[in-house]
Every structure is written in C-alpha cells, then in structure tokens.
Structure 1
Amino acid sequence: MEKAAENVEIAVLGGVGFNSYMEFESQPVHTPYGEVTAYLTLLKGKRIALIPRHAGKNHIPPHKINYRANIWAVHALGARSVISTNSVGSMRGHSVGSFVVLDDFIDFTRNRPSTFYDDTTVHVDVSEPYCPEISEALRNALGKQGISYTTGIYACTEGPRFETRAEIRMMSQFADVVGMTGVPEVILAKELSLCYASLAIVTNQACGMTSQKLTADEVTEVVGKAQDAIFEIIVDTIENIQETRNCRCRFAKEGACL
C-alpha cells in the first residue's frame, strides 16, 4: 500500500474534543472504498491525522459511516496507532460525563461490512481487541488529570435508534456500556495490524436505567461540555505513545489466512 508523504504517526477517529479541526491542514485520501478527508496537524512533535467519523454534508448516522474507508485511510497515511473517541450509554450506573477505557466488545451490528477480506478467508485474532499500550496511556492521562474513569466491555448496536429496555436488560448481563460506532472499526484496525484503543465518554444512562426519555440533545450537550477535557486526555496520550510497539497488535493477522 502506498504511504502518504505526510508520514502520519497517530490517527484520532471521532473528532470529539477537536472543535477546531477545520483549521487543520485538510487532505483527501483516496481508498478502494471511497474518499476520506483527513485533517493533519502536529501535536507534541508528532504528525497527527484526525478523521471525523460523522463528517459530511450532513451528520452521517452510525449505520452509514464508511468504516472501511476510514481505517484504510489511517493505514494509507502511515499511522500505526489509533485513538478512537466514542459516546456511550451506561448500563452499570456510570455517572454522566465520566470515562470508560474499553477493554473488550460484543458486536450486535447487522448490516455493516466488517472485513476487508470479502473474497478470502481471514480469521483475525481479536482476543485482545484494544491495544494495551495505548489503553495504558489513556488511563495514565485520565489519572494525571484526576478524572473519574473505569474500564469495561462495549456493546455495539446497529442504530440509529436507541436501544429498547429489553435489549438493555439483555446486554447489561454481558457488557458495561453501549454505543453505535465502535464496531467494525476495531475489527478493521486489527485486520491492518494497527494499534487501536478507545476512550468512551458516558453521555447518558441507557434505556430503562432511568425514567427519563433518551434524546440526542443530551448526548450532544454532555460531549460539548467535555470537549476541553477530552482534548487534554488525547494530547497527553499522544505524547506518551511509544514509537516502538511492544504489544501483540502487529501480529493480529499472523496465521489468520486460509
């Protein structure tokens, strides 16, 4: 795969915490799955690419995001490390505005292409889906700022509707938080041997956890209030991601092809 001249080191997917990304240097990245616009900048002496997940003429809904194009673009730009930001609902009573560093996932999506390999069989290893080194850097950044956080399992649903009470009761038996954008991103990152970790912000209590109606407005409000904190967490994490990878992420596809 041809690498872009920018030699990007780290990609941030999601855009939460980067209100001013439109001021960054924009670059179109052509992929087999469509064109992606990446926003390039320097942070802590490292070349960073920001790819806003929902960016488009209108806000792209989670089930329509071109996940394959986004992850392919990350790799094409030369990045080996990815920090994802995700908004989630809590199924375990996490306080709104708190953070969760994801350590596993359950996939309840239905209609999303979840592999780059449509014509060959590749059983990629996801026994450790989130990079332990980036996850540790995220936890250290949160701790340094005295911000409340936990680790937990992420359930990804198809969307764009919120989940039902019955679905939340079921999923809460297995997972801690629920969202709509983390899968298949994490799987696709594994197929390209990228290091990928996710910082999730709790924007609401999941359906049935309170008597209140769920709205998109509350999600937007919580994320807006947390912009500055998220930015500082990500910047600190970027500073502490090591150039040499000692994790197993780079070996995820070894022995996977039939």
Structure 2
Amino acid sequence: MKKIAVIGGTGVEIEGEAVPIDTPYGRVVPRVAKLGGEEVLFIPRHGEGHLPPHRVNYRALLMAAKYWGALRVISTNTVGTMSWHPVGSFVIPTDFVEFTKSRPSTFFEEEAVHVDLTTPYCPQVGRALAGGAEATGAEVAEGIYVCTEGPHLESPAQIRMLRRFGDVIGMTGYPEVVLARELEICYASICIVTNPAAGMRRDAMSAAEITGEMARSARLLRGAIEGAISMMPEETSCSCGSALAGAGL
C-alpha cells in the first residue's frame, strides 16, 4: 500500500468512514476513503466548523497522518496569483516563504533540532501531482508559495512587496510543510489559483467569489489528485524519510 494522506482545504471534500485519531495535540476526525485506486486518509484541514487559517491545529493534523501510518501527504491549497497564472490553473510549490505570526511550527519545543529545508517539498510526490494535474487538461506550473497569517486578505501594498518573494499567496501552506519534514513524511502541495491577488486587477474579488471559484475547481482538483495517486510508485525514491539525520545538536 502507498499509505497516502490528503489534507483537504476549502471546497475539497472526500466522503469516507470517520476514524477519530487522538494525538498529543488534540483529536482529529479524518476519513478513510478510496481515491485513485488506493485507500487514503482524508483530513479536512479546517474541521467541521471551518476554522480560520491562523487557528488550524496543524500539528494535530500532521501527527494524525503519522499515527495512521501515512508515508506521503498531499496537501491542497487555495491561492491567489501574484504573477501570470490564470484562475483555475494549478501551481506545484517547490519552495516557500512565510510571514506568519502566531502558529506553533515545530514538534521539537524542548530540543535543538534544525531540520534541513533545502528541498522542503518531496520531489517525487510533486512530480506525480504535476502529472495528475496535466492529465486534467489544466495549465500547470511550478512556483514559490508565500504564506501569510490571515484571516484577512492582503493589501495591494503588501502584494507589491510579497511579489518579490514568490509567485502565489495563501494562508495554509505553513507550517504543514515543515511539520511533515520533521515527521520524515513525504509532503507536497497542489495549489489551485482562485483569484488574482490584491491590486493585480482593477476590481477585487470578494471572499465569497473566491470560495465559489474553489467550488467550481473542486472536481478538477480531485481528478488531479486521483491521477497523482495512481502515478505514484509503491516505493519512495527521495530523502524525506531521513530528514532528521544530522538535524539534532
């Protein structure tokens, strides 16, 4: 078995059997479902009450995936483009920059562990996601993900600054990427572009319009994930599983 967990963002729902998992950081209620011919663990990132990004219990989500036995995690993220990406296209992050403020971002609160982030996203899972996205017929590109705290959207001045750091902007990609790295789980993200960032076009999109665009893209996103899962080999060929080697002092 490939043992894949899918962390679903806004507008992404996969039905399955609920399997509550208790972690040191709280209880998570993911679902076991079939996707791409494989049994997967679907974890709704925002929970039943749809928590805002800055209140999501990211450590509990990633630890639940680890407890279930996941070797790979696919994350779905809604993003705004700060570049040329059209609405409805996919972006596969290869690196990130974060401007968050209040999120616990490590499992090693009492230890000096400095995990290497030279390759923060698993290249093997990333390639599969790119292949799955291409199979849907949608436009696909790689890019750098910029994570902000939220829950408000960014101002045009902020976007002008942040465009120097990356290509797309969202509120949920961090600290998932580093927490997965600390757990030595292969992790990659598939981002769906739902809107131009503030100031990138004359009229702004409302939060409701962005959510509506996400709902329209949900079927495409599911197809991309299913394709990626079916393309992934059983065995990993990356270094994610030894991310902690040499990280401790």
Normalised TM-score (structure 2): 0.96
Instruction: Say yes or no: does 1:62 pair with 2:53.
Output: yes
**How many Å separate the matches in 2 of 1:253 and 1:38?**
27
In structure 1, runs of 5+ residues without a counterpart are 1-6
Instruction: Say yes or no: does 1:83 pair with 2:74.
Output: yes
**How many Å separate the matches in 1 of 2:150 and 2:238?**
32
In structure 2, runs of 5+ residues without a counterpart are none
Letter in 2 for 1:240: M
Q: Report the CA distance between 1:18 and its aligned residue.
A: 4.5
Which of 180, 191, 201 is 1:189 aligned to? 180
String of CA shifts for 1:137-183, please: whole Å, max 9, x gaps. Answer: 11111222321111100000000011111111111012000000000
Q: What is the SS of the residue equivalent to 1:72?
A: helix
Q: Is the 8 A contact 2:9 2:78 kept in 1?
A: no
Q: Is the 8 A contact 1:8 1:78 kept in 2?
A: no
Instruction: Say yes or no: does 1:110 pair with 2:98.
Output: no
Alignment RMSD (CA, Å): 1.4
Aligned to 1:234: 225
Aligned to 1:130: 121
**How many Å separate the matches in 2 of 1:196 and 1:120?**
23
String of CA shifts for 1:64-97, please: whole Å, max 9, x gaps. Answer: 0000000000000000101100000100031111
Tell me which moved more, 193-202 or 234-243: 234-243
The number of residue pairs the alignment matches comes to 249
String of CA shifts for 1:22-72, please: whole Å, max 9, x gaps. Answer: x4100100000000001001234422000011122x220000000000000
**How many Å separate the matches in 2 of 1:196 and 1:44?**
18
Q: Is the 8 A contact 2:133 2:225 kept in 1?
A: no
**How many Å separate the matches in 2 of 1:9 and 1:104?**
24
**Pairing of 1:47-58 with structure 2 (within 5 A):** 47-56=39-48, 58=49
Tell me which moved more, 44-53 or 119-128: 44-53
Aligned to 1:32: 24
Letter in 2 for 1:14: G
Closer, same or farther: CA 15–162 of 1 in aligned 2, 3 Å: closer
**How many Å separate the matches in 1 of 2:163 and 2:213?**
22
Q: Is the 8 A contact 2:2 2:234 kept in 1?
A: no
Q: What is the SS of the residue equivalent to 1:63?
A: helix
Q: Is the 8 A contact 1:99 1:150 kept in 2?
A: yes
Normalised TM-score (structure 1): 0.93
**How many Å separate the matches in 2 of 1:206 and 1:101?**
18
Q: What is the SS of the residue equivalent to 1:221?
A: helix
Closer, same or farther: CA 212–98 of 1 in aligned 2, 3 Å: same
Letter in 2 for 1:11: A
Closer, same or farther: CA 45–141 of 1 in aligned 2, 3 Å: closer
Aligned to 1:148: 139
Q: Is the 8 A contact 1:17 1:229 kept in 2?
A: no
Q: What is the SS of the residue equivalent to 2:19?
A: strand
Which of 62, 81, 84 is 1:93 aligned to? 84
**Identity rate, percent:** 46
Q: Report the CA distance between 1:16 and its aligned residue.
A: 5.5
Q: Is the 8 A contact 1:16 1:230 kept in 2?
A: no
Q: What is the SS of the residue equivalent to 2:151?
A: coil
Which of 54, 71, 79 is 2:62 aligned to? 71
Q: Is the 8 A contact 1:17 1:230 kept in 2?
A: no
**How many Å separate the matches in 2 of 1:104 and 1:189?**
14
Which of 27, 38, 43 is 2:35 aligned to? 43
Q: What is the SS of the residue equivalent to 1:228?
A: helix
**How many Å separate the matches in 2 of 1:45 and 1:100?**
24
Q: Report the CA distance between 1:212 and its aligned residue.
A: 1.5
